[in-house]
Structure 1
Amino acid sequence: MTSPTQRVCFQLQVAPELLDEYIARHSPVWPEMLAEIAASGRRNYSLFVGEGGRLIGYYETDDDAAAQAYLAASPVAARWEAEMGRFFTGLEGRPDQASTPLTEIFNLHDQLTESTRS
């Protein structure tokens, strides 16, 4: 039996005066960093930016703790996060390790699946 996919959503705050540069730094992300994200087991990864620099991230993984550990030990991710850290406000430590997780309260697929079982 396979473990269910974990959906992870998080929030960070980009300093508004650095938002244009932050967006530019993601167009494109370093190829070696993209490879590390994939190797960690994260997939379907997206970042969304809102008014005032509010950043919402989302990804799916089979084991978030393992993905976090992989990236925490990655020299490539450490270099990337060291460069990205200056863009964020109210953050202690590496952005990929210190973001605020959000709690999922609704998922259409899960509820549709459950309703067909009833």
Structure 2
Amino acid sequence: MTSTIRATRVCFQLQIAPELLDEYVARHTPVWPEMLAEIAASGRRNYSLFLGDGGQLIGYYETDDDEAAQRYLAGSEVATRWEAEMSRFFVGLDGRPDQAATPLTEIFHLHDQLTAAHAAVSDNESTAS
């Protein structure tokens, strides 16, 4: 039986204070093992952070239920401690970094478009027969 749950891809943007970049990177090399476990337990997977010029931070993860993942982390003592320690690194952020980040709108995903294109070809072949 095939699962009908479609993973949600979440991408977000934050701004790190430029003077704190080295420390921010050091704090993620490595992340606390108990925080890693909480991220995984929340249902987030394929989680990555990318650092751009001037402290621009782009994050990405996949989840089957982002609202449930956010609720889980909001109630986690470990995540609360981690986010409290991380909050000082960010510019112009109101609230916890894990919940106040600016989400980005996905406009293209290769697999989705290939699947749609394949389905359209199959539909056209079925109609032509």
TM-score in same-fold range (> 0.5): yes
Larger radius of gyration: 2
Kindly report the root-mean-square deviation, in angstroms, between the aligned alpha carbons of the 2 structures.
0.6
- Aligned partner (choices 31, 46, 49) of residue 47 of structure 1: 49
Unmatched 5+ stretches in structure 1:
none
* Match in the other structure for 1:81: 83
| Cα drift, residue 3 of structure 1 | 1.5
1:102 corresponds in structure 2 to 104
Unaligned runs of 5+ in 2: 121-129
Q: Find runs of 4+ consecutive structure 1 residues off by over 2 angstroms.
A: none
The code of the aligned residue for 2:16 comes to V
Instruction: Tell me how many residue pairs correspond in the alignment.
Output: 118
User: Which residue does 1:31 correspond to in 2?
Assistant: 33
| Alignment deviations for residues 24-67 of structure 1 (CA, whole Å, 9 cap, x no partner) | 00000000000000000000000000000000000000000000
Corresponding residue for residue 71 of structure 1: 73
Distance (Å, rounded) in 2 between the aligned partners of 1:80 and 1:74: 10
1:6 aligns with 2:8: yes
